[in-house]
Amino acid sequence: MGTVGFVGLGDMGSRMVPHLLDANHRVVAFDVIRDRLDAMTALGAVPAGSPAAAANEADVVISAVMSTDIRAAHLGPQGIFAGMRPKTALAVLSTTSPGMLQSIASQMPAGVHLVDAPLIGGVRYAAEASLTVLLAGSDEAMALTESILRVFGDVIRVGPLGSGVTYKLITNVVVMAAEAGLREALDLTDILGSSYQTTLDLLARGPMAAVVKRALDRDNPRPIRDSAIDFDVLLSAGGEENLPVSAAGRRRLWAAAEAGSPPPVFFDLTTHTTALPKFRVNRPL
């Protein structure tokens, strides 16, 4: 099997690298947080000292960083591009805007292939290798990366470069409105003096069932702040004036993300940790 460079070992990446190792790929990994890198090294990954070093030996490089970290991870003398060789390929898994992706594409080294391959599914899906990968790029670039990306779940080819991040943002409009809507339903529960448990039980019987199930999953450590950042990306692409429901949802999710310490995670959307200030109860340390 070939060598895969993997940059970004957060909640998603740390659950994806083991599948590559199980498939007998050599994985050269990097993360700015040393403990994350050490955890993957313990499983068999080769540690790299920079994104460039992770890319230098790889046939395929996977970038799984937050949108806000894309420039730092890819550009500069220690960035991914500095280490890539001709005829290799880069798969960007980040939820980002088409504009950011095109900016990165315009600075690609000569002879290097690029796909955007954002993910549908959260941490549990990553751990179970049941993600949906939205793969976009040239036929040659997709052919170089698809077999690697299939290790993580189903791969759907969605069109030319940029189509992956576009369709990811489109699906996020509905997903993230549902997340903010769940929190607002519990806000109304507080206002009317009713029970969170009964509300969640009733929502779990209808079309919100999947959202409630995901929110109640204590094995999903995703910080609410990360979802709020994804809302920022969505609105930067579509315009706040064009997406009023998303704009309102972003305000509520940022309020939840900033509700006390330690920083709330996704499960806290279902608790009083993220309630309106007058109903809020802090999470015990």
If phi > 0 it is left, if psi is from -120 to 50 it is alpha, else beta; for residue 162 that is left
> What pLDDT, on the 0 to 100 scale, is given for residue 282?
74
> pLDDT tier at 260 (50, 70, 90 boundaries)?
confident
> What pLDDT, on the 0 to 100 scale, is given for residue 221?
86
pTM above 0.85, yes or no: yes
Looking at per-residue pLDDT, the higher value among 151 and 122 belongs to 151
CA–CA dist 132, 230 (Å, integer)? 18
Looking at the predicted structure, is the pLDDT value of residue 2 above 80? yes
How confident is the model over 188-234, as pLDDT tens digits? 999 999 999 999 999 999 999 999 999 999 888 889 999 999 999 99
CB 54, CB 83: distance < 8 Å? yes
Residue 18's DSSP bridge partners are none
166-279 CATH pick, 3.30.1490.70, 1.10.287.620, 1.10.1040.10, 3.40.50.720? 1.10.1040.10
Secondary-structure class of domain 3-161 per CATH: alpha beta
Sequence ranges of the domains in the chain: 3-161, 166-279
How confident is the model over 153-185, as pLDDT tens digits? 999 999 999 999 999 999 999 999 999 999 999
CA–CA dist 285, 169 (Å, integer)? 34
Of the chain, the percentage scoring pLDDT greater than 70 comes to: 99
CA–CA dist 162, 101 (Å, integer)? 7
> What pLDDT, on the 0 to 100 scale, is given for residue 284?
54
CA–CA dist 212, 204 (Å, integer)? 6
- CA geometry: angle at 42 spanning 36 and 48, to 5°? 60
